[in-house]
């Protein structure tokens, strides 16, 4: 019976790795996880930039991230169109016409007497 206990212990020793090797593998794995996380961040930034370039949404974060949008421009266009069909209030708003601010083409004469008399 003692021999079987020793055999089990020697089998366990055969399956373990040196501490330095395990630490090296963990560090290497950590580097790969950091790279993958950085790649995910860059993919999200690219997706946001593509939605901004499309110009139809007010807020680019309204469209959920999808990796297919990065490879296929038509898929992104269809996704934006579908989102706007379901939620038109997310569309970008553009001011057009004269809103009374900014540079004007003509020089307006100000008549203070006319302004006071109009009251």
What are the tens digits of pLDDT across the range 14-51? 678 899 999 999 999 999 999 989 999 999 999 999 99
pTM recorded for the entire structure? 0.59
Structural domain includes residue 54: yes
Average of per-residue pLDDT across 98-119? 73
| Lookup result for tokens 């008399």 | 117
Q: pLDDT grade, residue 1 (50/70/90)?
A: very low
Structural domain includes residue 106: no
Distance CA 37, CA 40 (A): 5
Average of per-residue pLDDT across 85-90? 92
Domain count, the chain: 1
Structural domain includes residue 36: yes
Q: pLDDT grade, residue 82 (50/70/90)?
A: very high
Domain that holds residue 42: 10-94
């Amino acid at each position: 019976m003692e021999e079987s206990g020793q055999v089990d212990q020697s089998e366990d020793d055969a399956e373990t790795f040196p501490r330095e090797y395990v630490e090296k593998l963990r560090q290497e794995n950590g580097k790969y996880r950091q790279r993958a996380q950085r790649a995910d961040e860059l993919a999200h930034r690219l997706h946001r930039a593509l939605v901004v370039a499309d110009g139809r949404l007010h807020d680019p974060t309204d469209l959920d991230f999808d990796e297919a949008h990065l490879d296929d421009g038509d898929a992104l266009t269809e996704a934006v169109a579908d989102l706007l069909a379901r939620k038109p209030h997310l569309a970008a708003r553009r001011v057009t016409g004269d809103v009374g601010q900014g540079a004007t083409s003509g020089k307006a004469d100000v008549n203070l007497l006319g302004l006071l008399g109009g009251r």
